[in-house]
Chain A
Amino acid sequence: MGILKTFALGGVHPEENKLSSQAAIEVLPIPKQVVVPLGQNLGAPSKPVVKKGDKVKTGQRIAEAGGFISANIHSPVSGTVLKIDSSIDSTGYKRPCIFISVEGDDWDESIDRTDKIETNILLTPDEIVSRIKSSGIVGLGGATFPTSVKLMPPPGKKAEYLVINGVECEPYLTSDHRIMLEKGREIMVGIQILMKALHVEKAIIGIENNKKDAINHLTELSRSLPGIQVVSLKVQYPQGGEKQLIKAVLNREVPSGKLPIEVGCVVQNVGTAFAVYEAVQKNKPLFERVVTVTGKGVKKPSNFLVRIGTSVQELIEAAGGISETTAKVISGGPMMGKALTSLEAPVVKGTSGILLMDDGESHRKVENPCIRCSKCTYACPMGLEPFLLIKTAKLGNYEMAEKEMIMDCIECGSCQFTCPSGIPLLDYLRLGKIKVGQSIRNRNLKKA
């Protein structure tokens, strides 16, 4: 097999802790009420098209895209719209949400609910893109960028490769792993659909070597499919980052500030590929997803198929409940996830996992002075100097921060993970990015 591929610069290898990798996906019972946030995707929030008292069916559109980079939202349940009001979501802020009380589970008639795998792709590329758009599909790896936008390369650019992200480099999370194992055939059809929409001949599925069963399964399935190749990758965080994944599988580097299309690539998550299959072949919009519920204190680490809008509380209860010692609840993985302020926060399209941390492991290390060991520089996958950037941020020298390419930071947290002095590097990097981002926006406004 030789040396496994990985990306060139930096990276760390945290303990993998894939506790739920053997837990098959379970369907979580539909809750009594769902709270569907209107801002679930990157870009503009969606605009509601239902009002209080309306009856909705499962899969019916309840909010429409609020801009070019935005997505439709479909009702995850059937029932009555209670109200459109603000409620706390995973950002820690109150945002507008649609509250729906559940009555039965009455699906929209147009959705094909059979288990039969449809392999014939009848739609034309344009129809595929518009179907994906109307189905409200966004990147399910966590960034929630609307998928249809990615499928329309800007004029003058052409995709050469479709890169499918099955890396799941975050510790603990296993939702993509389980999807690859259980929905492999559907994913393959999804990939073919995406290839057709993008007019590309080649697709590469990148999977880290700690998921051997998934690699074997997908390699087996891809044998009969020309153009689809499975690449096994060395375990290294943050390989799931778009730019790192492209570097690992194709040895191409996306230039600073540019998108993957610049080097002829479009990256999609395996979960997204599955959602694309369902939308195009089964006419089923995106209203449920697989969420891992895990943590060292969790009784039954599981992978659940969850309707969007289900509260985190309900998910945790299904996995054996929350323990007295839980001190931190994270939406997402331990490296890039967001700490939740409340268990009322609903599952959204971008929720890949819920991680519970005990009091002991949930606290930051005590901060000591920087000893200039440059471990952060070695760990940075973007070749930046975090120690320098946080100094510029602390001193308010944002011009220098910009010159030192702070906006290239992908916020993977490798620097902070590796810092022996326990310095909250990423906190200050984010501060710097916020400030530099503001000044760039102001500058652009002045120019315009």
Chain B
Amino acid sequence: MMNKFTISGSPHIQGDASTKKIMYGVVIAMMPALLVGVYYFGIGAVRVLLLAVVASLFFEWLIQKYLIKGPVTITDGSALVTGILLAMNVPSNLPGWMVVVGALIAIGMAKMSFGGLGKNIFNPALVARVFLLVSFPVQMTSWPKPTPISNGLADVITGPTPLGIVKEGLGNGQTMSQLAPELPSYTQDMIGSIGGSLGEVSAIALILGGLYMLWKKIITWHIPVSILLTVVIFSGIMWGFNPEQYADPVFQLLTGGLMLGAIFMATDMVTSPMTKGGQLIFGIGVGLLTILIRFWGAYPEGVSFAILIMNAVVPLINKGFKPRRFGARPGVTVKA
């Protein structure tokens, strides 16, 4: 007896891309930044990372199994990515229970309550980060000083981030040149030897991850490049007006969560626009809001808020920015 023939509509072949491959691709891309985090923040970083990942997976499993009572899909990698991103967005000395609360907010509130993978409006890890930031402002802004793992597992000393130094100094009436000695060098910013959340410190490692994702076609260049360019141009203009009151664009680019936000958070497929034009607008919006908050807002850092605000307007952007339809530019007018 022959097989029963299968009947289905064309196409009869499909590419080898899959949700899993994309998610694990993102995980691989995050590895360099994580390694730098672990190198500078030691055992604390490992602890936060493990807690965030395990808690995210656990909450996803719990909700899918007992609340939704649907299929459990924790192996698809999306909860893993959320967990790692959450860990990258918090200080490595955050109390463990806060990390778990963060994971619950990310998975339970920001993702599953919208219907699960693909249906959330806001980036889950960022929602959790902002939730933690406004709930536990002290713990969320006590950044451990980077101490290379080779120096042993000494107790961590906390200190401010470069952006925090600038914000506070300018607030106290100091100028940029007075603050300069307190700030780390650009080289330190690049490799990550600065205070900050555990995954955001090393610009080089993050860019490496971004290049990997570009190569694997997980992301396109539109969002990261438009965010970074907007930040450079906007902060450059302000810096040009008054270099004593506004930090220079390179400093803006390399410090804080900008690289992490531009490369890993804003490019989240679910919460970013669907067309390339829309992505450019989205990126410009994120860049502008980031600098607005950094310069004139109450917080020293504004990437998370900027991305969340732009997440909220993504449906509008999708409505307004359609792809270029074929036939819109005939290229020739034929005489009748």
* Residues of A that sit less than 8 Å from B by CB: 8-9, 12, 14-15, 92, 156-158, 160, 171, 243, 247, 250-256, 258, 262-264, 322, 324-330, 332, 334-341, 355, 357, 359, 361-365, 368-375, 377-378, 380-385, 387-388, 405, 408, 411, 413, 416-422, 424, 426-427, 430
Which chain A residues lie closer than 8 Å to B13 at the CB level? 14-15, 171, 334-335, 361, 417
Q: How far is the CA of A355 from the CA of B10 in the complex (A)?
A: 13
Which chain B residues lie closer than 8 Å to A365 at the CB level? 14, 18
Which chain B residues lie closer than 8 Å to A369 at the CB level? 116-119
Q: How far is the CA of A377 from the CA of B116 in the complex (A)?
A: 22
Give chain A nearest CB distance to B6 CB in angstroms: 5
Specify the main secondary structure of chain B where it touches its partner: loop
Q: Are A368 and B8 in contact (CB under 8 A)?
A: no
Could you mark each residue 294-336 of chain B with 1 if its beta carbon is under 8 Å from any beta carbon of chain A, else 0? 0000000000000000000000000000111111111110111
Q: How far is the CA of A330 from the CA of B269 in the complex (A)?
A: 35
Q: How far is the CA of A417 from the CA of B9 in the complex (A)?
A: 12
Give chain A nearest CB distance to B162 CB in angstroms: 34
CB-based closest 3 A-B pairs: A413-B11, A420-B17, A374-B274
Q: How far is the CA of A322 from the CA of B3 in the complex (A)?
A: 11
Question: 22 A-B residue contacts at CB 8 Å?
Answer: A158-B334, A243-B326, A243-B327, A255-B328, A256-B328, A322-B2, A325-B3, A326-B3, A327-B5, A327-B6, A330-B12, A335-B10, A357-B12, A361-B13, A362-B6, A372-B118, A382-B327, A383-B326, A408-B327, A418-B17, A421-B19, A422-B14
Which A residue's beta carbon lies closest to that of B13? A334
Q: How far is the CA of A370 from the CA of B223 in the complex (A)?
A: 20
Which A residue's beta carbon lies closest to that of B319? A388
Q: Are A258 and B327 in contact (CB under 8 A)?
A: yes
Which chain B residues lie closer than 8 Å to A330 at the CB level? 12
Q: Are A263 and B332 in contact (CB under 8 A)?
A: yes
Question: Known contacts being A324-B3, A382-B326, is A420 close to B334, with CB within 8 Å?
Answer: no
Which chain B residues lie closer than 8 Å to A387 at the CB level? 274
Give chain B nearest CB distance to A92 CB in angstroms: 7
Q: Are A327 and B3 in contact (CB under 8 A)?
A: yes
Question: Known contacts being A375-B17, A387-B274, A417-B15, is A254 close to B327, with CB within 8 Å?
Answer: yes
Which chain B residues lie closer than 8 Å to A340 at the CB level? 5
Contact of B270 among A264, A372, A413 (CB under 8 A): A372
Specify the main secondary structure of chain A where it touches its partner: loop
Give chain A nearest CB distance to B30 CB in angstroms: 17
Q: Are B5 and A329 in contact (CB under 8 A)?
A: yes
Q: How far is the CA of A387 from the CA of B118 in the complex (A)?
A: 12
Q: Are B3 and A413 in contact (CB under 8 A)?
A: no
Q: How far is the CA of A377 from the CA of B331 in the complex (A)?
A: 22
Which A residue's beta carbon lies closest to that of B7? A339
Q: Are B336 and A157 in contact (CB under 8 A)?
A: yes
Which A residue's beta carbon lies closest to that of B12? A334
B242 at the interface (CB under 8 A from A): no
Q: Are A364 and B3 in contact (CB under 8 A)?
A: no
Q: How far is the CA of A336 from the CA of B276 in the complex (A)?
A: 28
Q: Are B8 and A339 in contact (CB under 8 A)?
A: yes
Q: How far is the CA of A118 from the CA of B324 in the complex (A)?
A: 47
* Residues of B that sit less than 8 Å from A by CB: 2-15, 17-19, 21-22, 73, 76, 78, 116-119, 220, 269-270, 272, 274-276, 322-332, 334-336
Which chain A residues lie closer than 8 Å to B329 at the CB level? 253
Question: Known contacts being A253-B328, A361-B13, A365-B18, is A383 close to B269, with CB within 8 Å?
Answer: no
Give chain B nearest CB distance to A368 CB in angstroms: 5
Q: Are A368 and B9 in contact (CB under 8 A)?
A: no
Q: Are B269 and A373 in contact (CB under 8 A)?
A: yes
Q: How far is the CA of A424 from the CA of B274 in the complex (A)?
A: 19
Among B6, B78, B272: residue with most chain A CB under 10 A: B6
Which chain B residues lie closer than 8 Å to A264 at the CB level? 332, 334
Which B residue's beta carbon lies closest to that of A244? B326
Q: How far is the CA of A377 from the CA of B220 in the complex (A)?
A: 13
Q: How far is the CA of A65 from the CA of B192 in the complex (A)?
A: 76
Q: Are B15 and A263 in contact (CB under 8 A)?
A: no
Give chain B nearest CB distance to A311 CB in angstroms: 15
Q: Are A420 and B22 in contact (CB under 8 A)?
A: yes
Q: How far is the CA of A419 from the CA of B273 in the complex (A)?
A: 17
Contact of A364 among B2, B8, B119, B330 (CB under 8 A): B8
Among B10, B274, B275, B332: residue with most chain A CB under 10 A: B10
Which B residue's beta carbon lies closest to that of A325? B3
Give chain A nearest CB distance to B155 CB in angstroms: 42
Contact of A254 among B22, B118, B275, B330 (CB under 8 A): B330
Which chain B residues lie closer than 8 Å to A247 at the CB level? 326
Contact of B10 among A263, A363, A426 (CB under 8 A): A426
Q: Are A334 and B11 in contact (CB under 8 A)?
A: yes
Which B residue's beta carbon lies closest to that of A431? B9
Which chain B residues lie closer than 8 Å to A382 at the CB level? 325-327
Q: How far is the CA of A362 from the CA of B12 in the complex (A)?
A: 7
Q: Are A335 and B323 in contact (CB under 8 A)?
A: no
Contact of B6 among A339, A385, A411 (CB under 8 A): A339
Which chain A residues lie closer than 8 Å to B330 at the CB level? 252-255, 262-263
Which B residue's beta carbon lies closest to that of A262? B334
Q: Are B118 and A413 in contact (CB under 8 A)?
A: no
Contact of B323 among A252, A362, A363, A380 (CB under 8 A): A380
Contact of B325 among A258, A370, A384 (CB under 8 A): A384
Question: Known contacts being A334-B11, A335-B11, A377-B275, is A253 close to B331, with CB within 8 Å?
Answer: yes
Which B residue's beta carbon lies closest to that of A12? B15
Q: How far is the CA of A56 from the CA of B324 in the complex (A)?
A: 54
Which chain B residues lie closer than 8 Å to A341 at the CB level? 5, 7
